[in-house]
């Protein structure tokens, strides 16, 4: 029961951490990730001149978090292609809590824009620079108070397009991709109202706003049109379009007046804008339905994953409930098979090392020592496969009743002519199959030589990365074929896990797609649900009854190796292998320091027993194989 409780606590901790992290990301606005300041108010006034140009005063209030130096950016896009923007001044002043200027204006000097400034840096002194190719204004400022108002005055030549009957002014006053969200945005367009004319809304003056759904437009009789947006996120935009009589542009050049003759606008533009609004409304409805569908699917998948976890995700209580034990978990299992069971059938190079150590322990591999008596190389016996196979046959013939007394569930041995149950494969047969695969791997590393030194593996992997990776993968496949017949993992839970993980991947994929189509909030909420589903799926598979019992004994052995008094059992070579598999290097160090021979030189100890030899080899083989895998993967990637 204690084992299941610890499993549940680990699961709940992992699930809670994933959900909280992803929900925090979902709640935190993206603007908070991009900059350490806020823009709390934007006040724009665009005065349309009678020659078709527009003079704009752009005031924005920023709040800073005490940064020593900051680079602010303004985006000026959306004007006609032949329009020319000229920045006239940039200045700043402290602001009080109400947004009013609380001090003197400070004019920033102009600097010639340098291309490297796009990715960072800038002039040493406070200044502004305009990147006319990307239509960006940069302000490089330092030592800012907590609340500052910036004012940019600029003029756009040829900003208004003249037609036969109307003048069209389109102004993208908030382009996309600002570093932060813009709050309380007000954009006012002041028309050059003729003295002998009046403003008649939706008759001679039309105004449309494109952008956030909560924006508004109002037309005043004095010829001013006000566009308001409570907030414009970095992924949104806000645009104004105003149509007014072309006769009000009394100083328009002949060239600009004749450029678009034959194109009346009063009859066409209002219909276009109405259709645009209808299309936008339709898109909004479709988007809302897609958001509901995405979040509904994510919630359904998450609930389904919870039900699957409730059915399969909890381990059965093992028959063995001890916390400590000094016996091998199951003498029938090769250490590599135990490693797979311990690791939920995940592949690991540790299993290769454990198998090599076990072959040395059993005498299937011998160790050549150097002149000082330390293990230097593995001797690869040419008749290993035949020897281990004949030994398996001999054991099966001479002592089958003793060796195969019971399978994993305690079944009786199979009768002659019957198929042998998976659990009835003898330990010697398992050793023979795995020994042969291990020998093939070692001979690949030794390139046909009769000995394999510890450092040869990494050298071979660097020179033959593909061959090494193929040999290692072939070994893992051999081990998988050996593990599968035991059926240590509940088949129903394995199928359920695949379904849950596939569903989590599908929701995650839809969430990433929706990030660009539906917005960041539904995408991240769906991603949070996908993450939680993936955690549930990871904990869905459970071991079989016998597999869980073996693991319970393995945990008891691990605890004993880690916490117990091991000096009384210090000369047990098989425990060195399991200490390596279970990640208890302290036991190997204890073995090496206790039973090593006398030093032949300062700092050099010679292993005097088989246990000490295995303790000496384990970390060196592990390091060599790890270096070889890293080198092979690196060479395979670069090639």
596 and 464: one domain?
Answer: yes
pLDDT digits (tens, 9 = 90+) for 364-403: 898 988 887 788 889 986 554 444 444 444 343 343 332 2
The pairing of strands 127-131 and 109-110 is parallel
Q: What is the pLDDT of residue 338?
A: 94
8 A C-beta contact, residue 528 and residue 514: no
Q: What is the pLDDT of residue 374?
A: 83
- Cα(35)–Cα(68) distance, rounded to whole angstroms? 14
Q: What is the pLDDT of residue 120?
A: 85
Mean pLDDT lowest among 162-171, 236-245, 565-574: 565-574
478 and 613: one domain?
Answer: yes
560 and 472: one domain?
Answer: yes
Full residue range of the structural domain in which residue 446 is found: 335-399+425-490+542-638
And the tokens for 570? 């210090």
Share of residues in the chain with pLDDT > 70 (%): 82
Q: Is pLDDT of 294 > 70?
A: yes
Is 563 a member of any domain?
Answer: yes
Is 50 a member of any domain?
Answer: yes
Q: Is pLDDT of 422 > 60?
A: no
Q: What is the pLDDT of residue 530?
A: 94
368 and 474: one domain?
Answer: yes
Is 87 a member of any domain?
Answer: yes
The pairing of strands 127-131 and 54-64 is unpaired
The pairing of strands 182-190 and 37-48 is parallel
376 and 252: one domain?
Answer: no
In terms of average pLDDT, the best of 79-88, 492-501, 626-635 is 79-88
236 and 341: one domain?
Answer: no
456 and 585: one domain?
Answer: yes
Q: Is pLDDT of 309 > 90?
A: no
Q: Tell me which of 265, 283, 299 is where a domain ends.
A: 265
The band of 35, judged by pLDDT with boundaries at 50, 70 and 90, is: low
45 or 424: which leads in pLDDT: 45
Q: What is the pLDDT of residue 14?
A: 53
And the tokens for 620? 């060196």
pLDDT digits (tens, 9 = 90+) for 576-585: 999 999 998 8
Q: Residue 341: CA atoms inside 13 Å, Cβ hemisphere, count?
A: 30
String of DSSP letters for 343-373:
TTT---HHHHHHHHHHHHHHTSSEEEE-TTS
Q: Considering its fold, how many domains does the chain have in total?
A: 2
Q: Is pLDDT of 596 > 60?
A: no
The band of 599, judged by pLDDT with boundaries at 50, 70 and 90, is: very low
Q: What is the pLDDT of residue 420?
A: 42
pLDDT digits (tens, 9 = 90+) for 609-630: 888 889 889 998 999 888 888 8
Q: What is the pLDDT of residue 588?
A: 77
238 and 364: one domain?
Answer: no
Q: Is pLDDT of 251 > 90?
A: yes
The Cβ of residue 157 has, within 10 Å, a number of other Cβ atoms equal to 16
pLDDT digits (tens, 9 = 90+) for 140-172: 998 888 899 999 999 999 999 999 889 999 999
Q: Is pLDDT of 589 > 80?
A: no
384 and 464: one domain?
Answer: yes
Burial class of 206 by CB neighbour count within 10 A (0 to 12, 13 to 18, 19+): buried
pLDDT digits (tens, 9 = 90+) for 327-375: 999 988 999 999 999 998 889 999 999 999 999 998 889 898 888 778 8
Is 314 a member of any domain?
Answer: no
Q: What is the pLDDT of residue 567?
A: 58
Cα maximum dimension of the chain: 120
Please compute the mean of the pLDDT values over residues 291-303 and round it to a whole number. Answer: 94
Is 355 a member of any domain?
Answer: yes
Q: Which residues pair with 147 in a beta bridge?
A: 63
Please compute the mean of the pLDDT values over residues 537-544 and round it to a whole number. Answer: 85
Q: What is the pLDDT of residue 183?
A: 93
Mean per-residue pLDDT over the chain, rounded: 82
Is 510 a member of any domain?
Answer: no
The Cβ of residue 186 has, within 10 Å, a number of other Cβ atoms equal to 15
The band of 30, judged by pLDDT with boundaries at 50, 70 and 90, is: very low
Rg from Cα positions in the chain = 38
Q: What is the pLDDT of residue 426?
A: 54
58 and 207: one domain?
Answer: yes
Q: Which long-range contacts (CB under 8 A, 24 or more apart) does 295-298 make?
A: 295/522, 295/525, 295/526, 295/529, 297/507, 297/510, 297/526, 298/507, 298/511, 298/525, 298/526, 298/529, 298/530
Q: What is the pLDDT of residue 227?
A: 96
Q: What is the pLDDT of residue 16?
A: 55
Q: What is the pLDDT of residue 610?
A: 87
8 A C-beta contact, residue 166 and residue 205: no
pLDDT digits (tens, 9 = 90+) for 425-472: 455 666 688 888 899 889 888 887 888 887 677 788 888 888 889 989
Is 374 a member of any domain?
Answer: yes
CATH number at 217 reads: 2.60.40
Q: What is the pLDDT of residue 411?
A: 38
Q: What is the pLDDT of residue 414?
A: 39
- Cα(424)–Cα(418) distance, rounded to whole angstroms? 12
3-state SS assignment for residue 55: strand
8 A C-beta contact, residue 401 and residue 392: no
Please compute the mean of the pLDDT values over residues 164-182 and round it to a whole number. Answer: 89
Burial class of 261 by CB neighbour count within 10 A (0 to 12, 13 to 18, 19+): exposed
Q: Tell me which of 212, 245, 265 is where a domain ends.
A: 265
Q: Is pLDDT of 409 > 90?
A: no
Q: What is the pLDDT of residue 126?
A: 93
Q: Is pLDDT of 310 > 50?
A: yes
Mean pLDDT lowest among 67-76, 488-497, 560-569: 560-569
pLDDT digits (tens, 9 = 90+) for 46-66: 999 999 999 999 999 999 887
Is 523 a member of any domain?
Answer: no
Q: What is the pLDDT of residue 593?
A: 65
472 and 360: one domain?
Answer: yes
The band of 278, judged by pLDDT with boundaries at 50, 70 and 90, is: low
Q: How far apart are the first and last CA of the chain?
A: 51
Q: What is the pLDDT of residue 234?
A: 86
639 or 227: which leads in pLDDT: 227
Please compute the mean of the pLDDT values over residues 223-246 and round it to a whole number. Answer: 92
pLDDT digits (tens, 9 = 90+) for 116-138: 999 888 998 999 999 999 999 99
The pTM (predicted TM-score) of the whole model is 0.54
368 and 482: one domain?
Answer: yes
Q: Is pLDDT of 536 > 60?
A: yes
Q: Tell me which of 242, 265, 288 is where a domain ends.
A: 265
And the tokens for 105? 């204006």
């Amino acid at each position: 029961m204690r084992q299941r409780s610890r499993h549940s606590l680990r699961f709940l901790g992992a699930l809670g951490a994933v959900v909280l992290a992803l929900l925090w990301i979902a709640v935190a606005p993206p603007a908070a990730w991009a900059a350490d300041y806020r823009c709390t108010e934007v006040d724009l006034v665009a005065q349309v001149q009678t020659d078709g140009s527009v003079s704009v005063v752009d005031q924005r209030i920023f709040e800073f978090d005490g940064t020593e130096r900051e680079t602010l950016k303004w985006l000026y896009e959306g004007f006609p292609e032949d329009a020319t923007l000229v920045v006239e001044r940039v200045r700043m002043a402290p602001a009080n809590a109400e947004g009013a200027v609380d001090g003197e204006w400070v004019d920033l000097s102009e600097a010639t824009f340098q291309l490297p400034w796009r990715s960072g840096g800038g002039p040493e002194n406070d200044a502004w620079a305009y990147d006319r190719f990307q239509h960006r204004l940069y302000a490089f400022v330092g030592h800012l108070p907590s609340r500052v108002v910036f004012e940019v005055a600029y003029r756009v030549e040829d900003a208004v397009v003249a037609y036969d009957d109307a003048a069209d002014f389109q102004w993208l006053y908030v382009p996309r991709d600002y570093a932060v969200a813009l709050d309380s945005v007000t954009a006012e367009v002041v028309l050059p109202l003729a003295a002998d004319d009046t403003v008649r809304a939706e008759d001679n003056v039309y105004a449309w706003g494109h952008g956030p759904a909560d924006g508004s437009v109002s037309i005043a009789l004095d010829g001013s049109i006000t566009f308001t947006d409570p907030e414009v996120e970095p992924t949104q935009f806000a645009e104004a379009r105003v149509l007014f009589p072309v006769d009000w542009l009394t100083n328009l050049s002949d060239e600009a007046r004749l450029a678009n003759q034959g194109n009346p606008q009063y009859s066409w533009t209002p219909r276009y804008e109405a259709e645009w609004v209808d299309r936008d409304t339709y898109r909004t409805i479709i988007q809302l339905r897609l958001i509901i569908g995405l979040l509904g699917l994510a919630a359904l998948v998450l609930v389904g994953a919870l039900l699957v976890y409730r059915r399969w995700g909890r381990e059965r209580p093992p028959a063995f409930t001890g916390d400590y034990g000094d016996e091998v978990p199951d003498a029938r299992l090769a250490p590599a098979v135990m490693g797979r069971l311990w690791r939920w059938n995940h592949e690991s190079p540790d299993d290769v090392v454990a198998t090599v150590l076990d072959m040395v322990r059993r005498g299937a591999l011998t160790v050549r020592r150097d002149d000082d008596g330390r293990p230097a190389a593995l001797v690869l016996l040419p008749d290993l496969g035949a020897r281990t196979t004949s030994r398996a046959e001999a054991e099966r013939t001479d002592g089958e009743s003793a060796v195969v007394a019971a399978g994993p569930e305690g079944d009786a041995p199979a009768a002659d002519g019957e198929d042998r149950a998976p659990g009835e494969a003898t330990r010697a047969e398992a050793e023979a199959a795995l020994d042969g695969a291990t020998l093939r791997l070692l001979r690949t590393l030794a390139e046909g030589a009769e000995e394999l030194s510890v450092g040869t593996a990494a050298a071979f992997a660097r020179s033959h990365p593909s061959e090494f990776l193929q040999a290692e993968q072939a070994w893992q496949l051999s081990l998988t074929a050996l593990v599968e017949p035991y059926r240590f993992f509940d088949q129903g839970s394995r199928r359920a896990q695949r379904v849950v993980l596939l569903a989590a991947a599908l929701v995650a994929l839809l969430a990433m797609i929706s990030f660009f189509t539906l917005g960041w909030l539904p995408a991240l909420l769906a991603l949070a649900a996908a993450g939680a589903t993936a955690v549930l799926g990871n904990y869905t598979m459970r071991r079989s009854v016998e597999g869980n019992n073996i693991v319970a004994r393995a945990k008891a052995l691990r605890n004993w190796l880690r916490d117990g008094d091991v000096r009384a059992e210090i000369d047990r070579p098989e425990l060195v292998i399991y200490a390596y598999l279970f990640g208890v290097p302290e036991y190997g160090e204890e073995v090496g320091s206790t039973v090593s021979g006398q030093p032949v030189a300062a700092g050099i100890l010679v292993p005097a027993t088989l246990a000490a030899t295995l303790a000496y080899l384990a970390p060196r083989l592990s390091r060599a194989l790890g270096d070889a895998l890293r080198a092979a993967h690196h060479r395979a990637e670069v090639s």
